[in-house]
Structure 1
């Protein structure tokens, strides 16, 4: 991999252009161009498809309706033709049988014989589907029927016909007609198919009747089934069209949300002096966001940068990109945090801080380093100026022969020189900035005979003065003090022991005494001039320090503002992905869509939690986090926190135990206490292997209640414990590389504990476990 990067650096842009034309650019970056082209072509065809699909569906429904109507009409005609043919044939067959058997009929009582002959003459299945065979005598009276119809026999056949249909329509071989027939006396007529054949001899005619309801029964069933199928198909098509429009509208809304979100992010990155990058480590190609181009004063473009392009504008003394890539590929580390300079388009150098993480796309082995670059040029210059001012001030203080010390308005040590330290025999531990005056004097092995808080003694109302003090070893000091503009004061001490001794000797001689006094006055004047100069230098030092603190405050406010801006689109993304996962407005169509929605929901929730942590940390750093103490049940807070982490613990088969007595009450902010316990328990569960144990206990210690979280996790080395609770800091080892996290959990917990006046303590042994403890005041309420 390293040789590939070196080769790329030598071939520079010529190799870049040939590789892009050959399509060998990183898949994660080339996919962005392909996706953009496909999305633009899809947007162009989207309007046509939205107008074409409904028209095609309606044409399909109309064609289907016409086709099925034609088929049903043909079936109707075919059914009628078949029924008429069958009636005519059956009438002819039965008439032939009756005429051939007419000679066997007796003169009297022939009806019984006729009924038998009629039954024998019927073909198989002749009386099915409602067919009725009627035989009349020459007078037109019905004398036989099949199947036997006692109610119809002995009635004139003309009674069966509706009054509007005369009997004269029937003649020899008259065919089949549709006529209304009255089957019962006084009943309604029923439209039926009828055919009549005349007989010779003493028999008059044979009539065959079949109600049309029986003839078209099967056809009506087919009609009902086809109408039902057509209506169902039409409804399904309409539902598909509605789903298409619904999905198209949702896709358009999602595109608008994406464009708005991207616009906000680009605006935030541009105003926040930030930029995104994507570095394909295996091929040495890099993609920059437009904000990063603008940060370096260059024209934004979508082309992929080669390793040589980036290396040419990177300061070689700050970072070795080739060595960094080689180290990441060989060591397996995933997190990167580097500070370096890059050349601006105008030739100047810009200080950048790059923070990123190595990620690999699913199904591909090429690792990508994806992260953000922040412009820290101003902060770096301020820090450098502050450092140089501090060095100059310290050098100036060390060069003077007097003991120098600077205190702030709260009587806390700001700075002192080595003469002051050696004069009072102070250990190095107490000469740190911020140490109270009483602690410094308590640690002094050579303090003043009558120690007291240092105060400025004024002369004539002026905020300055001097006095003499004797030390425990007998030496004398001439101390000059002056009030600073911020309320503190500077003190310069001169060893006047020798002068004191000389003064005693010079008492014998007025001349020598006057000379000594004159020397002392000159020394005082010199000291006052030096003191004023040192005060001015101290003022400059304080001003530079204030500017550095203001820059840090601006950084915290920016993080808080960008966190608020990111939470709004994230809430929409999480909410809509949850709606799509639950399919509130209908099924998505494919199970993979549901999986994608779950991935969006989980990723959005994780990102929202990270942003919330950043927001809380920013509030704390900006001093806008306040707590309201009240009497809180320690057991209730412990149970709530344990219950929340139970889900994550169950997945790893980790036992979470909370041993907190119900009677223990603490004076604390309820929400802050719950967040402290939740962060500590969640951190313990995350870094505890499967089948481990996490224990939360609370025990009184005087007027304090000591909470302690113990786990059987991977442990922390001693060199990492000191920096672990710092913001965005995570301990790197083989186990924690597989876990996500913002690195703010312990930092937020520590800050909240300190806001309560407590202190967070971490004790750990590698591969044995970790113990995190803190104390809070016990409540007076029993």
Structure 2
């Protein structure tokens, strides 16, 4: 009987009997496909995580290199700052230049406490320096690293360090912080708040959108993510932090698309579709997971090794391994570069040949002692790139881990050139300081914070008679002060400044001693020899006594002096009254002198022109002309004398009216033109757009006539120029001639009444000497002034300045005053 029949006989239908099996099979199939789907997804996720982890490792390596370069630059800047403080360098430009020469640095600046930039190697970074100083002040502390916010402007990594009252700002080129990368690599450095500091050329060509996509993807996905650009290409981006300054380092590189990852995962499990291979697939998955763990461990070990190498390279530290038994020296790549070695494996003799011959014996002794003491410490010089470099090698011996008794020495190779050069500079500065102290003529001493002696000069020892048994390093201030007492005769402190005292030595020498606190808390003692000043004080005291005696004697003659003064005052009053009487007399005689003179001039003119008939003798006609000319000349002289007398007697009044200066200039030129032409001279007028002024027409005309007459009188050849220009406040008149000129020592006398230069001028030209004095008085009566410039042999320039509004005494005022 068949099974179906059996089931039927038992009352169970075949469909119902097979139903549990079918359900079990379906459940197995569902479970199998669910497990396979889970494995496919896990494989996909694992592949994505592996890609992201690898990219994160790359980003970490670059971030470590950035950290190393930042630390190296900070160390170099600290060196410059420490050198400035310890070496006494106060030149801001020298500090900035030293900091700007640090690796990865592009510029440096020194900023005062008030925010003023004292030195800047690149003026293009002025705004960045100011922003960095403000950011460091907000953060506080002696040092700050970061990229200050610049708004729309580009920022850069910046280091700020305090140097006393100053701030040293070092600006870093972000591109120099990175290791060598391909041109197609996409590397991004940003601040913690997402401001881009550096973007590689590939990212710059990709645009700002790609940069922002990398920034957002790495921040939102915990440091790494798969992204897709605008062209549909797949990229993996990862981020690693740079501990100095908090910078974010992001790296992006091409990878497989998400669809390709799913297809690879599905293809990996396509063979598991068959049920018989399920167990093998499970074992395969387990083995694959173990292999992945092993690969991750290997990647971690490689990453740690790479980190160490990058850190060592960034710090310029090499590694050396010496096997004395095999006479073999193993060098790392960095050590080979530092030593200038031809390879990475050398014998000890070959290594010693790299050392400068003067240091070779000492290095060989250091290696020999290492066999006995187990410690290696050698300093020597090598020739590298045509220049000397200082090298330090330090290490320790260890036993071979294989159990053999062979000794191996591991050590580090460091380039100490900059430190040795800095030490030499400090030593040089110290020698210069000692020389300056020793050459100082007065006593000098320097004490530490505990008032113990550090430095002194020979003058200090000689002044206080101190021997070498007292003057020694770290001798106390109190002991030296006690030993100096026998050499001091007396001592006096200034009441308002206890740090300053004046002492007299037993030798008779006087010293002015000043003690001040140094910047580090120590004490500086400086003395100046004031013996000559003290001697001058004594001499001054003796002179004061002699002066006091002289004053006493002078007091006894005081009565006679007062009597003489009274007599002189009375005589001066008599002279002034006589002068006033003379001036008043001449002013009152104006009519009496001019009336007969006018008659003489008139009658002589009638006779010379024969108005009433001919004169019998021609000689009489010539005499009449001479009388006419002499009368006019005498009248001019009398007019000048009378006008000056009126001015001195305060009786000459002016009548100011609106005046066109061009009219007065034309009239004066016309009156003197004939005399000028008789001497072969020409008069040139340069007067345009002259403003109207308020002045006395006759006085202005008289001023011009006097100046032009003098110019014609003292000019034998050439030309005379009248130059007039209006100003904001008035009118400037100049008369320029090419005459004989006036010596400079005689110029102050020309404007005085009756003063003449007793030289060739007065011998050839006669006059009273009143022309310029009268001209000056008339100009001053208008509120103006007169000035004279002259050079002997070249000519004279007389300048008269008149105000637009009359500034003198008017006729009504003069009448009221009388």
The answer, yes or no, to whether TM exceeds 0.5 is no
Which has the higher Rg, Structure 1 or Structure 2? Answer: 2
Higher relative contact order (CA 8 A, sep 6+): 1
Query: TM-score, length-normalised on structure 1?
Result: 0.30
